[in-house]
């Protein structure tokens, strides 16, 4: 077996793992949050559209309000889809020991994107490795 493969393949494997690991960790954390934390409905206090420098839509900045045990909390989040849904589309999963720690559903759903991004980067690294370094 060529030294190129003996050294190169493990390095590519490490790069692929490094690209995907943060996405998997975030996804696992968000899964635990959704399973273990209770939910509270929200009220949208304000929302603002943000744009890229070229004028294309980027995201909505949203300020949410939720109430737990008579105490009201405010949380900011982002919505990356073009249409802003009503407040019924949002709810927060809050930590019962510390209700200020809350995760809107939009952030939990968004954690899938981190895994997808890691997978895309991994494919690019593998293709570049195979294409560029052919013996």
Q: What is the pLDDT of residues 67-111, one digit of tens each?
A: 999 999 998 887 766 666 665 667 888 999 999 988 887 666 655
Indicate the domain borders of the chain. Answer: 3-132
Centre a 10 Å sphere on the Cβ of residue 135 and count the other Cβ atoms it contains: 6
Q: Look at strands 98-104 and 57-68 and give their pairing.
A: unpaired
What's the predicted TM-score (pTM) here?
0.60
Q: How confident is the model at residue 33 (pLDDT cuts 50, 70, 90)?
A: confident
Which value, to the nearest 10 degrees, does the dihedral of the CA atoms of residues 76, 78, 83, 84 take?
-10
């Amino acid at each position: 077996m060529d030294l190129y493969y003996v050294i190169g393949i493990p390095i590519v494997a490490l790069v692929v793992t490094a690209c995907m690991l943060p996405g998997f960790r975030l996804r696992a954390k968000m899964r635990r949050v959704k399973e273990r934390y209770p939910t509270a409905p929200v009220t949208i206090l304000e929302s603002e559209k943000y744009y890229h420098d070229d004028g294309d839509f980027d995201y909505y900045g949203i300020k949410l309000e939720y109430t737990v045990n008579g105490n009201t909390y405010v949380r900011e989040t982002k919505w990356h889809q073009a249409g802003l849904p009503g407040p019924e589309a949002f709810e927060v999963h809050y930590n019962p020991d510390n209700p200020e720690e809350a995760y809107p559903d939009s952030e939990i759903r968004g954690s899938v994107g981190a895994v997808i991004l890691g997978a895309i980067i991994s494919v690019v690294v593998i293709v570049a490795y195979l294409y560029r370094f052919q013996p």
